[in-house]
Amino acid sequence: MNVYAEHIEKDLGVEVRVHNRGVSGQTSGELLDRIRSSQRLRDNISHAEVITLWIGGNDMARPFSQLYAAGCGGTDGLECCRKPVRTLKANCNAILAEILSLRSTADTIIRIANVCNPFIAQ
């Protein structure tokens, strides 16, 4: 069960029905395309009271690996991360815009977890 669902049930004493539409390995651009093209996903979003996203890890896995292994160019060693970060930010903004366009004026709780820190255990 979704970690947010467990917290909502515990905190509010309500039953939460989870519709897990996650796709392992999906990038933010692929999620954006799915939101725009999948009527089932759009329907789920339009009826949801809470929407959770875990996004960015697949967008940034390769640049982080490159960065960790040997740096990735530029005067600060971060060149390989710049374009993927800009793309991820643009996709996240577009994903939120799509979600909000499907919600009309309904209150919506949105929780987003983005790129984790791959160096935390190093």
Asked whether residue 94 is assigned to any structural domain, the reply reads yes
> If you average pLDDT over every residue of the chain, what do you get?
83
Asked whether residue 100 is assigned to any structural domain, the reply reads yes
Asked whether residue 78 is assigned to any structural domain, the reply reads yes
The confidence score (pLDDT) of residue 1 equals 44
pLDDT, tens digit, 9 for 90 and up, residues 61-98: 787 777 777 777 777 777 788 888 899 999 999 999 99
The confidence score (pLDDT) of residue 3 equals 72
Instruction: Write out the DSSP string of 64-105.
Output: HHHHHHH--SSTTS-HHHHHHHHHHHHHHHHHHHHHHHHHTT
- Which amino acid would we find at residue 107? D
The confidence score (pLDDT) of residue 120 equals 56
C-alpha dist (Å) from residue 93 to 16, 33, 77, 100, 110:
27, 13, 27, 11, 13
Asked whether residue 102 is assigned to any structural domain, the reply reads yes
15/5 Cα distance (integer angstroms): 8
**Does residue 60 or residue 66 have the better pLDDT?**
60
Asked whether residue 121 is assigned to any structural domain, the reply reads no
51/112 Cα distance (integer angstroms): 8
Percent of the chain with pLDDT over 90: 29
The confidence score (pLDDT) of residue 116 equals 59
The confidence score (pLDDT) of residue 61 equals 79
Task: Determine how many CB atoms are found less than 10 A away from the CB of residue 35.
Answer: 19
pTM for the complete prediction? 0.80
Q: Which domain holds residue 86?
A: 3-113
Q: State how many domains the chain has.
A: 1
Asked if 112 and 53 touch (Cβ cutoff 8 Å), the reply is yes
Count of CA atoms in the C-beta half-sphere (13 A) of 13: 0
The confidence score (pLDDT) of residue 102 equals 92
Asked whether residue 118 is assigned to any structural domain, the reply reads no
Asked whether residue 41 is assigned to any structural domain, the reply reads yes
